[in-house]
Amino acid sequence: MPDRRLLATALVLAFGLAGCGGGNAAPTTVATATSQATTSAAATKPARPRSLDLTSVVACELLSEQQRSALGVDQPPKPGHSTTFDADDCFFLNRAENTNFFLVPISKQGIERFAPGRVNGEVRQVSVSGYPGYEVWTEVAPGSQFCTVQVDVADGQVLRAHYAEGGRKQPLGREELCKRASRVAEAALVTLSRK
């Protein structure tokens, strides 16, 4: 009889502990799966054609006059500083079309800063001139929309192109804005590749 009580007590404890532990099993499994997915994604990240050092790059020198003209820039570039990325940036304006873009050579933060779940907006993986990157779209009012493309140019360094509408009456929409942001990044990569 004592053996049956001992067995019953052991079974109750075992089922009780299994019930308590069951609530934690799913999150642990999810966290492990997420870690594996992240590790797997990082391991399969496309290689860059070559590393491009942004440390001493002057943002307003990333586009030649010919490139600016091809991109519709009709005003002189304006240098600035991004406090968000602790990097110099450059503002380019197409007044006739009510569009503008920024180029930011970020030398102190890597591409992981812009990965899904790390920024506000919808993130898509892209490739710009063979370099891996992220396109980020945040839904805002038509006519004031923008798209950013971040390009992984070196370990811990990112080239960022931000293309925006400046109060357009006929909005360009997501696909066109993101296509233009990619074109800007592509043009800047041509300049960087020549250095």
* Shared domain check, 71 and 166: yes
* Shared domain check, 144 and 174: yes
- Dihedral of CA 107/109/112/116: which sign? negative
Q: Is residue 52 part of a domain?
A: no
Among 107, 109, 146, 103, residue whose Cα is nearest residue 128: 103
Q: What is the pLDDT of residues 105-140, one digit of tens each?
A: 999 999 999 999 999 999 999 999 999 999 999 989
* Shared domain check, 95 and 33: no
Predicted TM-score (pTM) of the model is: 0.77
Structural domain count, the chain:
2
Distance between CA 134 and CA 97 in Å, rounded?
Answer: 26
Least confident piece of the model among 38-47, 88-97, 102-111, 130-139: 38-47
Quick one: pLDDT at residue 142?
87
**Containing domain of residue 141, as a range?**
59-193
Amino acid letter, residue 41: A
Q: Is residue 12 part of a domain?
A: yes
Q: Is residue 50 part of a domain?
A: no
* Shared domain check, 170 and 98: yes
* Shared domain check, 66 and 36: no
Share of the chain above pLDDT 70, in %: 77
Region 138-150 average pLDDT: 93
Region 71-97 average pLDDT: 97
Share of the chain above pLDDT 90, in %: 70
